[in-house]
Homo-oligomer: A and B are copies of this chain.
Amino acid sequence: MHEMKGVPQPSSVSKSTAEKVKARRKKAVKPEELLEGLLSGNKSALSRAITLIESTHPKHRKQASELLEKSLPHTRHALRIGITGVPGVGKSTFIESFGKLYTNKGLNVAVLAVDPSSKLSKGSILGDKTRMEELVKDERAFIRPSASGSSLGGVARKTREAIILCEAAGFDIIVIETVGVGQSETMVHSMTDFFLLLKLAGAGDELQGIKRGIMEMADAIVINKADGENVKAAKLAKTEFNRALHLFPEKESGWTPITLTCSAIANEGIEDIAELISEYVELTKENGYFQQRRNEQNKFWLLQTIESALKNDFYEDPVIKKALKEQLTALDENRTTPFEAANHLLSLHQK
């Protein structure tokens, strides 16, 4: 495993419903108290801190900023693992098995879900939580459903900030789970150290290579449900995937992605996956790629944040809102070109 610091043990909080309601009513949370709770590994404080960073209220944003700033010195030792796979691949069961393996070793595991479609399928989050019933009860584990938001960029910011908070709260393993949709996977890949793609044997998308972009991001492919009658097909799929992985250009990390099989439900093959991840961490810490990737990820997010703010500032300008409509009409009527119209709008904004 990667280097491990002495980890504060999260206190197992089990409040009564009445107490919970009371806590929710208590609007004025002192930021210093929240920070103290967070740094002592209190899961309830962590939950409230994440709720704070998810708020778009200006006052909350300011408090969130301070909290993040003070949390920063306490982060950086955790390992961030991205896990993706299409619905039905058994992600929840896998994360339950995978998470338990680490908590059994005395490590603290946080699971953050990124669901780009969360607005439409709010129920699925609850479903996932019930499917991780062992992990939910584990005092070393923390599970947080998807951050909601109007844009993928907003969800990304919230998730990245939640990672910082989880690390400050002493979590060693941060699992970021997402659904098999291209954009959200790229986002999760851009904020994790290791990216794991869950697959099923014979699901039909192997030969068409439909998930090529996602396969290219994967540091490992794991074929789940390799049990019973499925074992043979899973082994065959493993060979196929390994062959496909060899067609990709060599990774900058120096790591060669490989395919493993497991049965999350029977708890088989999970240890091998954890072992593989350890090897990856060892290799990339030694060759410097681990830190390099984190630095690049930070830079990427810095630029992303700037660019979305610039666009927002422009398109939310009331002068632009009105003029843009006019220019679009002029475009449709062939009275201007896209470039002329853009220059006109830019000159209006600068005034």
B342 touches A306 (CB 8 A): yes
B305 touches A311 (CB 8 A): no
Residues of B within 8 A of A334 (CB): 72-73, 75-76
> In the assembled complex, how far is the CB of residue A208 from the closest CB belonging to chain B, in whole angstroms?
5
* Given A160-B338, A302-B338, residue A332 in contact with residue B207 (CB < 8 A): no
A345 touches B306 (CB 8 A): yes
Neighbour of A340 across the interface among B68, B247, B306, B340, CB < 8 A = B68
A346 interface residue, CB < 8 Å from B?
yes
A208 touches B305 (CB 8 A): no
Residues of B within 8 A of A208 (CB): 207, 209, 212, 244, 247
* Given A247-B208, A295-B331, A331-B298, residue A340 in contact with residue B69 (CB < 8 A): yes
Please, what's the 1-or-0 string for A41-79, where 1 marks a CB less than 8 Å from any CB in chain B? Answer: 000000000000000000000000100110011011000
B209 touches A302 (CB 8 A): no
Residues of B within 8 A of A314 (CB): 306, 310
Name the interface residues of A110-140: CB closer than 8 Å to any CB of B: none
A72 touches B336 (CB 8 A): yes
> In the assembled complex, how far is the CB of residue A272 from the closest CB belonging to chain B, in whole angstroms?
28
Instruction: Please name the residue on chain B nearest to A164 by beta carbon.
Output: B337
Please, what's the 1-or-0 string for A323-351, where 1 marks a CB less than 8 Å from any CB in chain B? Answer: 00001100110111111111101100000
A338 touches B301 (CB 8 A): yes
In the assembly, what is the distance between CA of A11 and CA of B13, in Å? 86
* Given A208-B209, A298-B332, A332-B295, residue A339 in contact with residue B307 (CB < 8 A): no
In the assembly, what is the distance between CA of A179 and CA of B86, in Å? 33
Residues of B within 8 A of A343 (CB): 65, 305
> In the assembled complex, how far is the CB of residue A316 from the closest CB belonging to chain B, in whole angstroms?
13
B212 touches A302 (CB 8 A): no
> In the assembled complex, how far is the CB of residue A321 from the closest CB belonging to chain B, in whole angstroms?
13
Instruction: Please name the residue on chain B nearest to A244 by beta carbon.
Output: B208
Name the interface residues of A293-317: CB closer than 8 Å to any CB of B: 295, 298-302, 304-307, 309-311, 314
Residues of B within 8 A of A18 (CB): none
Residues of B within 8 A of A331 (CB): 295, 298-299, 302
A268 interface residue, CB < 8 Å from B?
no
Residues of B within 8 A of A339 (CB): 65, 68, 157, 160-161, 301, 305
> In the assembled complex, how far is the CB of residue A53 from the closest CB belonging to chain B, in whole angstroms?
10
Instruction: Please name the residue on chain B nearest to A314 by beta carbon.
Output: B310
A210 interface residue, CB < 8 Å from B?
yes
Residues of B within 8 A of A306 (CB): 314, 342, 345-346
Instruction: Please name the residue on chain B nearest to A332 by beta carbon.
Output: B295
In the assembly, what is the distance between CA of A247 and CA of B311, in Å? 36
> In the assembled complex, how far is the CB of residue A162 from the closest CB belonging to chain B, in whole angstroms?
12
B309 touches A161 (CB 8 A): no
5 contacts between A and B (CB under 8 A): A207-B209, A208-B209, A212-B212, A302-B327, A305-B343
